[in-house]
Copies of this chain bind each other. A is one copy, B any other.
């Protein structure tokens, strides 16, 4: 999964009917200190957990993005499937 911060959302009226009612988020990948990963482009992902602006989340990509009730059988290749409380790295805690 990819670690990132919710930085925005996408508005799209004309879209595959499978996306009706979904919230499409813009996620900026971050490193283990929650700093922006300058080399990684933002990921556009459907929200399945009610993630809010600024929250640190996990994104599942590829066919795994369709393994939530909300995204099943839909043309979606990235889903926010967890909101991160904290990271434990070698005994240190971030977040």
A interface residues with partner B (beta carbon < 8 Å): 1-3, 7-16, 18-19, 24, 26, 29, 31-32, 37, 40-45, 48-50, 53, 58, 60-68, 71, 73-79, 81-90
Residues A82 and B19 in contact in the complex (CB < 8 Å), given A64-B77, A73-B67: yes
Q: For the complex, give the distance between the alpha carbons of A80 and B27 in Å.
A: 20
Contact of A62 (CB < 8 Å), options: B2, B14, B18, B63? B63
Contact between B83 and A1, CB atoms less than 8 A apart: no
Contact between B14 and A49, CB atoms less than 8 A apart: yes
Identical chains in the assembly: 5
Q: How far is the CB of A38 from chain B (nearest CB, A)?
A: 12
Contact of A14 (CB < 8 Å), options: B74, B77, B82? B82
Q: Give the chain B neighbours of A90 by CB distance below 8 A.
A: 7-8, 53
